[in-house]
Chains A and B, each alone.
Chain A
Amino acid sequence: MTDIIIAGIGQTPVGEHWDESLRSLAVQAIQAAIKDSGGLKPQALYVGNMLAASLSRQAHLGALLADYAGLRFDDAQHKAGIEAETVEAGGASGGAALRQGYLAVASGLVDVALVVGVEKFTDVIGPDLEAALATLTDADYESVHGLTLTAQAALLARRYMHENHVPADGLAGFPLTAHANGAGNKNAMYRKAIALDTYQKAEPVCEPLNIFDVAPNADGAAAVVLTRRELLPKDFPHPVVRLAASTITSDTLALAERSDPLWFAAAQASVEQAFQKAGITREQVDLFEYYDAFSIFAALSLEAAGFAKRGQGWKLAGDGSIALTGQLPCATLGGLKARGNPGGATGVYQVVEAAEQLRGQAGANQIAGARYALIQCLGGPASIAVTHILEKIGD
């Protein structure tokens, strides 16, 4: 099969954008990605979004964003906008939208696909925001009992720390690494390293999680343009980065319905399938953009991906393994914790950042000579796991 290329990337800074709307954020990212691709003309738009219907009272984003971004056929026969639809897979919506773009371009039916992830969180705060987020759990058996996403992660963390004798600050290395890396990313929400002491004194949110164990919900949009290698312009200005694998797997929506809640089975399956598809081994991975919506998710993802034995993933955070200079750099531009977690946009940000690494555009956070990037986003506690592998193939 022909190579599917990440031809263009674009992103807005992540943060509290009081002066920007859902549509303005998306349009900025789309325009940046198209420009970065050298002006490729998309034939289909896949929008990754998680909660616009609740948070902005706005569904039907495909039509809205294709129109506002001016994505129209420019020939005389087709006086209309291009194909456009929304893809929703909870927190993995962005990754799932990218998978749809990949399928479209790989099938040969679409030559150039545009994927945009967008989320506008900050127009809603307090109990209404918690209620909107809780719709991502099982309505009949989780949220009706008052469970929240953060509490779900806390339940996992409590049991994980109990079974594996993890000290109270045993997960600290995940946010510490994220914040250290966020300092070098101009699009990150938090750009300041934190000290262990700060973590240890932090306010509990949902015990055993404290405020540094929970990535901040934030506004943002990121976009990528995909095409087949032979369709790249002759003067394409970037090192060529290929989408070497794209996989999605699923698990129970409700955490309680798993026979083994501390094992992210879907995450394991999607990573294994991705390695097989890309034809690489985990030893070849130069960086891992994991889904650290909560510190405990990072630990469980490292275990599911086979980088740590079961119950040992938390140790990689403490011993420097996941730092930029470590054996397996993770969250290289701040991850969800420091870059921020713009919901359905997050999975696209991860891919944009990994592409920057492979192109050599990651500035102070550049992983020298990076060739393979493993990227994973999760919906809920790996109720959906989306894994992508990017490979640098040209100069």
Chain B
Amino acid sequence: MEIPRHWRLNQQRYGLVGEVCPHCEAKIFPPRDICPHCGGEAKTTYAFNGRGEVFSFTTIYEAPTGFDETAPYTVALVKLEEGPLVTAQLTDLGETRPEIGMPVEMVTRKLRSDGDERGMLIYGYKFRPVMR
């Protein structure tokens, strides 16, 4: 069930909320309170705009429990406009074949269910091709 565990991450999952370092101005996702670039304390929240491009991607056929019903699915490293990379699924691809450099934007989707019929659905960010 792990309800508090997922509730704690609502800001990150629904709003791509990370941090900005007050010392070196690095944008940080996920938040970690210590800047990975300069080592200074970084507790200022910062909401990413959700736009980026595909840095790399692959399709998973042999999925872990909780994801096996949705396989195959495509995961990517997305390079956010503000700098950081995030790991997320690509969604709403339709006939689009993903490629490196493809512009994408964040959307909120179901990430997984915990399996049993009364189980919790976990929502969070995925990325879809930018509508042209």
Contacts and interface: CB of A to CB of B under 8 A. Distances in A.
Interface residues of A, number: 37
A155 B30 contact: no
Contact of A146 (B36, B89, B100): B89
A256 B87 contact: yes
A151 B75 contact: yes
A283 interface: no
Identify the interface centre among A128, A140, A254: most chain B CB within 10 Å of its CB. A140
A143 interface: yes
B55 A146 contact: no
A255 B64 contact: no
Contacts of B46: none
A223 to B, nearest CB: 31
B85 interface: yes
A147 to B, nearest CB: 5
A393 to B, nearest CB: 41
Interface in A143-202: 143-148, 150-151, 154-156, 158-159, 162
B127 to A, nearest CB: 10
A131 interface: yes
Contacts of B58: 151, 154-155, 158, 206-209
A62 interface: no
Interface in B72-90: 73, 75-77, 84-89
Interface in A97-138: 126-128, 130-131, 133-134
Nearest to B59: A207
B113 interface: no
A128 B65 contact: yes
A360 interface: no
A127 B89 contact: no
A133 B65 CA distance: 11
Contact of B62 (A130, A159, A208): A130
B87 A140 contact: no
A130 B64 CA distance: 5
Give the interface size bracket for B toward A: 35 or more
Contact of B57 (A126, A141, A158): A158
A329 B116 CA distance: 51
A155 B60 contact: no
Given A130-B65, A155-B77, A256 B86 contact: yes
B60 A206 contact: yes
Contacts of A127: 62-68
Nearest to B85: A256
A128 B73 CA distance: 18
Contact of B75 (A146, A208, A252): A146
A202 to B, nearest CB: 14
Nearest to A140: B9
Contacts of B66: 127, 131
Contacts of A131: 64-66
Given A158-B58, A206-B59, A144 B122 contact: yes
Contacts of A80: none
Contacts of B36: 252, 257
Given A159-B55, A257-B36, A148 B63 contact: yes
Contacts of B112: 144, 146
Q: Which 7 A-B pairs have the closest CB atoms?
A: A154-B58, A131-B64, A130-B64, A159-B56, A256-B85, A131-B65, A127-B65
Interface of A: 126-128, 130-131, 133-134, 140-148, 150-151, 154-156, 158-159, 162, 205-209, 252, 254-259, 261
5 contacts: A127-B62, A158-B100, A159-B55, A159-B77, A208-B58
